[in-house]
Structure 1
Amino acid sequence: MSIKLTVWVILGISIGFYAEVTPLLPLIATVVLLPLLYWTIKKQSSSGFPYVESLVAIIAVALGTFVVGVSTNKGMPNFYGQLDVEHPKVWHLKVEEALKPNAYSHRYVAKVISADKKRASGKLLLSLTPDSLLHPLEIDDELLVHASLENIQPPLNPYQFDYRSYLQKQGIQHQIRTNYPSILKTEKNSNTLFGHASRFREHIISKLKKKAFGADEMAVIQALLLGKRDDISEDTYNNYKNAGAVHILAVSGLHVGIILFILEFLLVPLERLPKGKTLKLVLVVLLLWAYAFVAGLSPSIVRAVTMFSFVAYALYLNRPTSSFNIIALSMLFILLIKPLFLFQVGFQMSYAAVFAIVWIYPKLQRFWFPENLIVRKTWQLLSVSVAAQLGVLPISLFYFHQFPALFFISNLLIIPFFGVDFGLWYSSYCFGTLERIAPIFGQCF
C-alpha cells in the first residue's frame, strides 16, 4: 500500500507544480473527502468497485498537490510575489543556505521575513559581489537590504544548463543582486538547528585546517567527510567525474550507508539484552542523525539520513519482502515534508540506486555465489555497484547524456579504501581520538 500511496502523492506533486494549483483547492478536497472515506470504509462490502482505494488515491493526489503548493508559497496569503516586486523595497531576509561561491559572486538562499515592514514569505536567491575585507554571511544571519527583485535569466544557448528551471524547482523565483556594503545585518537573530549544525561543521573544519594537510587533500577531506565542496578544484572534480566516482564527493547515501553498516556491526552485542534489538535500532537512528548534524544538516544529508533511518527499520524487521514498502514509505515521508525534492536529480538518483540494489543485487547473488572468500567479496562489491549503476542509468543518460564506464574499476578500487578511511574517521570522532590519529588519517587520504 505504501508504494501506491507514494505514486499517487508523486502524481499530485507533479500536477500541483506544473499546473500551479493554489493550495486552497486540494485542501478543501481533502477535508471534504476524509469523512466520506471513513463512511465508505464502514459501509463497503468485500466485493464490487474499489471505492475505498479510489478515494484514498484521490486524497493522496490532493495531498501531494497541497504540500507542493505550500512549499512554493504560490497562492499563500503572504507570498512576496503578490506584492509590487518591480519597485525597490526594504527586504528583511534570513540566510537559510550558503551555495558554492565563484570568483564573481557569493550566493545564498534567503527566506523572506518582510518587505517594507509588511510580513511576507517565500525564498530568494541573494547574490553578493565578493569582498575580501568582509566575512561571508552565515546560516541564520538576518539582514536588511534595499533592492529590486530580478527575474532569473533563462539559458542563452540551446542545451545549456537551465539554472532558472533548477531554482524554480527549489521554490525560488527571483533574485537580489547587490554587494556586502549595501546590506545591514540585524543584531538579533533567531538561531535554528540548521545554523547550529553549520557552525559546528565550520568548527570541525577549522580544527582540521590546523593539521598538516595540503590544500588539495583538505578540500577532498571537507567534501568526503563533511559535505563541503567549496574548495575542490575543477581538475580534481573532473577526475572523479570521469572515473565514475564523483558520488563520493557529495555526502549522501554512500556515506550514510557506510555508517549504518559500521553501527549495525558494532552494536550487535546489544541484541543479547532484553529488548536489545529495539535499543539497537534507536541508537543507530540517533547516531545517524548525529552525523547529519556534524555534516551541517544540508538537504542532501538530511534526505539520505531519513532514507537510511527507514532502511535501519527494515533491517530491524528482517523481512526482505518489506524492503520495497519501507523504502517507499521513506520516500513518502520525505516528499510530504519537502515535496520539491522530487525534482532534484540527487533525490531521483538516490532512490533509483536503492530500489535497484534491493531488486537486482539478490538476483546477481543467486546467479553466481563463489566459494572463494576473496572472489565472493569482490563479486558482492561489483554486484552492488552494477545494480546501483543500472538503476541510475536512465537518469544519468537523460540529464547528463553520458555513462561513466570506468565505474566498474573505480568502485572496486576506491570504495573499499574509502569505506575503511571514512569508518576510521567516524569511529575516531565518536570516541574522541581524532586528535591522535590525524597524521595517520592524512596519510590515508
Structure 2
Amino acid sequence: MKNRPLLSVCLMVLCIIAFMVVWGRERFIKELRPSPIERYAAEGDNITICGKIYRQEQKENCRMIYLKENSIYSNSKKFQESKIIIYTNSSQKLHIGNQIKVCGKVSFYEEARNPGNFDQKFYYQKQGIHGKVRSDDIQITDYKRNKLKDRLEKFRMNWQKMLQREMGERDGSALAAILLGEKSGMDQEMKELYQVNGIGHILAISGVCFLCWVFLIGEKMA
C-alpha cells in the first residue's frame, strides 16, 4: 500500500462514500428524513386528512388516490404533510384538483427485508410520500379541478385499457408502463426484473416524454 498511494486514496474515498450512504443518507437527502406523519402518528392510528388530488391509479383490487398539501388531524394534533396516498374501494367520481376530506387508519411502507429486494419504503420516500391510509370515507370539500391534468389522466387510462385489450394483460401493461409511465397494471415479476437490471428508469422517463409530446400536440391543435 505504501508504494501505491493512488490505491490508498481510492480506498479511503470508497470508505467515506460507503459511510455517508449507510450513516448519513437521511442527513443529505431531505426526502428520507422522518416526516411529520411519522413523528406524530403511529401505525393503526385513526386520522383525518384534508388534501388536494394530484394523481389517481386504478389497481386490480383497489384505487390509489395521491394527495398533496395535506392538513392532518391525529391524536388531537394538527400538522402538515406534503404528500400521502389513500387506498380505497370507493367508486366515487373524483377529479385531479379536487379537495377532499378522508378519515381512516394510517400505516407505513415496509423496508426491504433482504438485500436486493424491492424497498417499498425507500421508493415512496424518494417521492416525498411517507405514509398511506386505507379508507372508503371520502368527502369532496372543493369541486374545483385541473381540467388539463384531468384530461391527460383519462387519456392515459384509456390508452392503458386499449393496450391491455389488444395485446393481453401482461404485454399490454408492460407497453403501457414504457409508453405512458403507467405501472399500476404491470406484472410485479416483470417490474422487479426492470429494477434489478437497473433499467427501471425507462418506465418513468418514457412516460414523461410521451405525456410531454401529447401536451405539445394539444397546444398546437388548440
The two structures share one fold, judged by TM-score above 0.5: yes
Contact 1:248 1:255 in 2 (8 A): no
The correspondence for 2:213, drawn from 268, 283, 291, is: 291
Pick closer, same or farther for the CA change 1:215–1:230 going to 2, 3 Å: farther
Residue pairs, 1:234-383, within 5 angstroms: 250=203, 252=205, 256=209, 290-291=212-213, 293=215
Residue 125 (structure 1) aligned with residue 85 (structure 2): yes
Question: Alignment identity in percent?
Answer: 16
Gaps spanning 5+ residues in structure 2: where? 1-16
- CA–CA distance in 2 between the matches of 1:159 and 1:218? 27
- Aligned residue for 1:96, secondary structure, equals strand
Residue pairs, 1:72-111, within 5 angstroms: 79-82=36-39, 84-86=40-42, 87-99=45-57, 101-103=59-61, 105-111=62-68
Pick closer, same or farther for the CA change 1:138–1:221 going to 2, 3 Å: farther
Contact 1:205 1:222 in 2 (8 A): no
Residue 150 (structure 1) aligned with residue 116 (structure 2): no
Pick closer, same or farther for the CA change 1:198–1:120 going to 2, 3 Å: same
Pick closer, same or farther for the CA change 1:293–1:174 going to 2, 3 Å: same
Residue pairs, 1:434-445, within 5 angstroms: none
Name the structure 2 match of 1:202. 154
- CA–CA distance in 1 between the matches of 2:111 and 2:200? 28
List per-residue Cα deviations over 1:89-146 (Å, max 9, x = no partner): 321122333356243x333432252123945133223222x35xx1575433332122
- Aligned residue for 1:139, secondary structure, equals coil
Gaps spanning 5+ residues in structure 1: where? 1-10, 22-64, 257-287, 295-425, 433-445
- Aligned residue for 1:199, secondary structure, equals helix
TM, length-normalised to structure 2: 0.57
List per-residue Cα deviations over 1:37-62 (Å, max 9, x = no partner): xxxxxxxxxxxxxxxxxxxxxxxxxx
**How far apart are 1:231 and its partner, in Å?**
4.3
Q: Using CA pairs below 8 Å that are at least 6 residues apart, which structure has the higher relative contact order?
A: 2
Residue pairs, 1:156-235, within 5 angstroms: 159-178=116-135, 180=136, 182-189=137-144, 191=146, 196-203=148-155, 206=158, 214=166, 216=168, 222-232=176-186
Query: If each structure's strand is expressed as a fraction of its own residues, which one has the higher value?
Result: 2
After TM superposition, which residue ranges in structure 1, 4 or more long, deviate above 6 angstroms? Answer: 207-211, 246-249, 429-432
Q: How many residues align?
A: 190
Larger radius of gyration: 1
Pick closer, same or farther for the CA change 1:431–1:89 going to 2, 3 Å: closer
Contact 1:229 1:249 in 2 (8 A): no
- Aligned residue for 2:97, secondary structure, equals coil
Pick closer, same or farther for the CA change 1:204–1:254 going to 2, 3 Å: closer
- CA–CA distance in 2 between the matches of 1:190 and 1:430? 19
Pick closer, same or farther for the CA change 1:161–1:202 going to 2, 3 Å: same
Query: If each structure's helix is expressed as a fraction of its own residues, which one has the higher value?
Result: 1
Name the structure 2 match of 1:114. 71
- CA–CA distance in 2 between the matches of 1:150 and 1:209? 30
TM, length-normalised to structure 1: 0.33
- CA–CA distance in 1 between the matches of 2:128 and 2:162? 39
